Chain A
């Protein structure tokens, strides 16, 4: 049930201002994205067309609080087939970014953000790894890359997710 009394008419304009959200208004609802989606093939609770329609209608809270928004694998199968030339995966990503700004950041991403802040990479490089690399004839790598934390500070993303 969609009750337009709950609609926020500004929602779509906020999304198109986000990085990657530009194409949103071109959607005419053909569902080619949903038909091409490998995630939807296995789990019908994820539907890119539905997310885009709800966004256009202004169903802000429903879109942002949906756990299924995060099911997009960003594989771009939809982008390749959209007859309107919308970069569909980028639009879905823009909605995710907007959800993060509004307090809906999945825990898994917070963990990754913390790792990148501390290490600059997703996996800790331990002495064991460096020794193993040496034994295999592979060159050494940096254990940490502090410059990444500087970028995170600069864009303010840490504050946005409360870290």
Chain B
């Protein structure tokens, strides 16, 4: 049993429970134990543009919670992963550490921060995942959306290739579903500018939705709650703005993986997906 502290952040526990449910179900199947982080707050990322030091201190306080438990952190969100990783790095900087101590926080054990999907790739591994697959989803074609902060900035992560990423495609292929190669794979979802200029953010999200449509895929697979906000919650806005019909389901990777493990639809929270994946379910022999 591998133990990790699970960092939920703001969006996942109240807006993306299906992501959390499916991640927990998949983790259990793979003998990963999640320990709850009592007192964990927002990661700090939303305030980085306002004041980097404040955001880093908020992130470092979250790190401190896991450090006391001497557990490495798993995050389900790309931006939380980047923010917490940055704080973990900053804690080695004397000046920052002094500020952190002034607030009465402590960092007794050095710990690491990883995205859940990275943990599946590095700590569990493709072979072990393959052996857990009971129902291959061979009929499905999907596009894998990495999101910016899964592999960038590389100076924080040193994981995967920031220009030609491949780890998530490999993980998608484990399920039997085919991860289709497509143009502008690293395109940002636009989430970070949603609060600044909605039209621009929706235009950015639309770009990948149109690529998904042109490729005729069954779903877009996401690993970040905010990317999902852009591709799923704002899909209708993109449809209205660009006068086009998408109807592209957006699934979280643990939902897809869970289906390939033979979990039923409810165990991976599929009824919470806002764009109904009915056609996809029919294709794999599960229908409502």
Tell me the A residues contacting B by CB distance below 8 Å.
18-20, 38-39, 42-43, 70-77, 79-80, 87, 89, 93-94, 96-97, 100, 105-106, 108-109, 112-113, 116, 120-123, 125, 129, 132-133, 136-139, 141-142, 145, 147-148, 150-152, 154-155, 157, 160-161
Contact = CB atoms under 8 A, between A and B. Distances in A.
Contacts of B53: 19, 155
A42 B190 CA distance: 10
B152 A75 contact: yes
A42 B197 CA distance: 12
Given A138-B20, A147-B39, A154-B103, A73 B192 contact: yes
Contact of A109 (B50, B152, B187): B50
A97 B48 CA distance: 8
27 contacts: A19-B52, A19-B53, A38-B188, A42-B204, A70-B49, A70-B196, A71-B200, A72-B192, A73-B192, A73-B204, A80-B163, A87-B153, A97-B50, A100-B49, A100-B50, A116-B41, A121-B42, A123-B10, A133-B17, A138-B24, A141-B8, A142-B39, A148-B58, A151-B58, A151-B61, A154-B102, A157-B54
A75 B192 contact: yes
Contacts, number: 163
B36 A93 contact: no
Contacts of B14: 123, 125, 129
B36 A96 contact: no
A79 B152 contact: yes
Those 10 A-B pairs whose CB atoms lie nearest each other, nearest first: A108-B195, A75-B148, A73-B192, A145-B41, A122-B10, A19-B52, A76-B152, A120-B41, A76-B153, A38-B188
Please indicate which of the listed interface residues B153, B195, B204 has the most CB atoms of chain A within 10 Å of its own CB. B153
B210 interface: no
B53 to A, nearest CB: 5
Interface string B128-158: 0000000000000000000011001111000
Contacts of A129: 13-14
Interface string B21-42: 1001000000000001011111
A80 B153 contact: yes
B11 interface: yes
